[in-house]
Amino acid sequence: MGRKRYLFTNKKNPPRGIFSTALGVLNLVAIIGVLIASYRSAGAAQPRLGATVLLSAILGVVGIVFGILSHMEPDMFTFFPKLGIVLNSLAILLAGIILYMGV
């Protein structure tokens, strides 16, 4: 058995990074919901679905900004800011593809 090593640190998770991650998850859930709703209506998407995707893209930009700001804070863990940046970037990419294709 190996020796257990403990890491003592003053670092903590930044609240803006956690918020960025939460926004990314919310955006992806909204976009997946729009895709499912559009599929169930045989591609005849309603305007509110397009508005949801557009709102997700806007919130994705906000999430990326929060992720970048929290990533630059000193003495903070960087997992949640990086995860938030990746999830929000993916949401913006999916929203762009959906809006380009015309839902």
- Predicted confidence at residue 44, as pLDDT, reads 83
Helices and strands in the chain: count of H runs, count of E runs: 3, 0
- Predicted confidence at residue 28, as pLDDT, reads 97
For residue 103, pLDDT beyond 60: no
In percent, how much of the chain has pLDDT > 70? 97
Strands (DSSP E) along 1-103, which ranges?
A: none
pLDDT, tens only, 39-74: 998 878 788 998 999 999 999 999 999 999 999 999
**Residue 99: pLDDT band with limits 50, 70, 90:** confident
For residue 30, pLDDT beyond 60: yes
- C-alpha–C-alpha distance, residues 41 and 35, integer Å: 10
3-state secondary structure of 92: helix
CA dihedral over 40, 42, 48, 49, signed as positive or negative? positive
- Predicted confidence at residue 12, as pLDDT, reads 92
- Predicted confidence at residue 67, as pLDDT, reads 97
pLDDT (average), residues 2-23: 89
Contacting residues for 26 by C-beta, under 8 A, at least 6 apart? 59
Contacting residues for 86 by C-beta, under 8 A, at least 6 apart? 24
- C-alpha–C-alpha distance, residues 22 and 14, integer Å: 13
CA dihedral over 91, 92, 97, 102, signed as positive or negative? positive
